[in-house]
Structure 1
């Protein structure tokens, strides 16, 4: 048995259905005008089920499970590298370890986030959590807090700029956008 019929497979399918229905409703009616009750109804589940999978409405857009992987990849880089170089190498390593996400779904999520001012705080909190994970990884490797924070903020700002530009086009993959940002950070290549 592959486990897809078990609770975790069912839970993952429900989570995915909720996310897909949310994207469709957000695109059709706007993020702010769409309620969690509408999303749950479209997915054929209760609103309580929605909140079991996503603690808040913004998590349907701003969910990022990659922080531990990123922190581990940054921590695994040689301590002799400068902080920004460690982050870039760590991000490259983390990205290489992940399967390529479904491009159109990620593009849709980023577009909605970019076009919805009420999501700015959730996006900032999400980025700050990633930044904190990177800073902790660097600090554990002997980097002082201020240089670690500056390097992490610079790297994440570059990634965010690349993702926002990528989301507004229909060209390239998410991997292309990430690689482009990392190339610029890694010596100014473009």
Structure 2
């Protein structure tokens, strides 16, 4: 149950879905591919997949993002939720917590992927959801890390 107005918009954060996708990914893949793939897969699931018409979930998510962008208190809460999402992803990667270098690499890769995702989310709201969110995330990840980072997800 929401405790405050900010919770109304931030309910059902996709953190668990993303963390599950990361945990299920092959540990032999590069970190960026594991995290980026999970972000793309979660966006596909949350926006209703590949249909041409936006679904109710997609419109709701788009409306929530617009509200977060335009409301200072929600932007602050969104940053908190992004930090929690980053930690959930790092935990799901399963890197040995006793190895500081592995933990650092996981945090850096996750943070960079989330920055690419944020850029895609911003673009998605600006173009009113006309471009599919998974495609924008794929493009942002490719722009940041090269096509090899998202080779299995490219649809071009």
Same fold (TM > 0.5) = yes
Aligned residues: 137
Instruction: Give me the whole-angstrom Cα distance separating, in 2, the residues matched to 1:99 and 1:169.
Output: 15
Question: Relative CO higher for 1 or 2, CA cutoff 8 Å, sep ≥ 6?
Answer: 2
Deviations 1:80-129 (A, max 9, x none): 22221221123334445556163332222111211222222200111111
Instruction: Give me the whole-angstrom Cα distance separating, in 1, the residues matched to 2:62 and 2:45.
Output: 20
Measured at CA, do residues 93 and 166 of structure 1 come closer, stay the same or move farther in structure 2, by a change above 3 Å? closer
Which position in structure 1 is the counterpart of 2:137?
178
Which position in structure 2 is the counterpart of 1:147?
105
Measured at CA, do residues 115 and 93 of structure 1 come closer, stay the same or move farther in structure 2, by a change above 3 Å? closer
For 1:1-190, list aligned pairs within 5 A.
Answer: 53-98=1-46, 100=48, 102-138=57-93, 140-142=94-96, 144-170=102-128, 171-185=130-144, 187-188=146-147
Which position in structure 1 is the counterpart of 2:52?
none
Classify the secondary structure of the residue corresponding to 1:79: coil
Instruction: Give me the whole-angstrom Cα distance separating, in 1, the residues matched to 2:77 and 2:126.
Output: 20
Measured at CA, do residues 92 and 127 of structure 1 come closer, stay the same or move farther in structure 2, by a change above 3 Å? same
Instruction: Give me the whole-angstrom Cα distance separating, in 1, the residues matched to 2:47 and 2:65.
Output: 18
Measured at CA, do residues 179 and 132 of structure 1 come closer, stay the same or move farther in structure 2, by a change above 3 Å? same
Stretches of structure 2 that go unaligned for 5 or more consecutive residues are: 49-54, 151-155
Max Rg structure: 1
1:135 deviation in Å?
0.5
Stretches of structure 1 that go unaligned for 5 or more consecutive residues are: 1-52
Classify the secondary structure of the residue corresponding to 2:84: helix
